[in-house]
Amino acid sequence: MSESNERHGMFGANTTGDTSGFGRLVVQRPAAASSPRPYGGYFDDVADHLERSGFGDAVEWTVVDRDELTFFIKRERIAEVAAVLRDDPELRFELLSGVSGVHYPSEEGRELHAVYHLLSMTHNRRVRLEVAIPDADPHVPSLVGVYPTADWHERETWDFFGIIFDGHPALTRIEMPDDWIGHPQRKDYPLGGIPVEYRGAEIPPPDERRSYS
């Protein structure tokens, strides 16, 4: 990965006018790097137990930021890592509370990310798993077989970002209409670039009706 990447504008959109008022904003963001040991608190216990369970090689790197723990997992290993996090009595992350997507167009070969938020009610612990996916091959194993709560979350992530969760029982639109074209939370999706008809009046997209200088 590169040492840093730039984000232009408030949302990184460059296909239409940026109506946020921050069109000239340039943000330098360092690439994610593995945090040094010790992580602190229970984070080391979770990482050590994953390694002892034989899943250390499934973790690409580990990031501790703002008192939150994120394991970046190889995408082909995500389901088995999730299963051991759920089933091992020393870990017991029983609940998948959400799945979300992120789009990083500048990360070549890792443009799409799937993010999983896990909660251990037994041990009162939280951990995040993240998987990087190439835009050219946007497939990742579904976690519905491990966590049934992933069902609608994965549908929403596919709907908005185009990440295909292989093995999902019914990967269909959940927010957008069934015939909708594209995935509207990707950075390359037109920002407000769709005209809307409301009570007989044609409302042009935002970039055609307002601008900031």
* pLDDT tens digits along 50-65: 999 999 999 999 999 9
What are the distances in angstroms from CA 46 to CA 40, 78, 88, 125? 11, 16, 11, 10
Instruction: Give the whole-angstrom CA distance, residue 187 versus residue 60.
Output: 25
Instruction: Give the whole-angstrom CA distance, residue 40 versus residue 127.
Output: 13
What's the token pair of residue 64?
A: 């501790």
Which of 104, 131, 92 shows the shortest CA–CA distance to 27?
104
> What domains does the chain contain, in order, with CATH numbers?
36-182 (3.30.460.80)
* pLDDT tens digits along 99-111: 999 999 989 999 9
| pLDDT at position 2 | 42
pLDDT of 77 > 60? The answer is yes
* pLDDT tens digits along 126-145: 999 999 999 999 999 999 99
* pLDDT tens digits along 180-213: 888 989 988 876 555 656 666 666 666 665 554 4
CB 101 within 8 A of CB 161: yes
CB 166 within 8 A of CB 173: no
| pLDDT at position 25 | 73
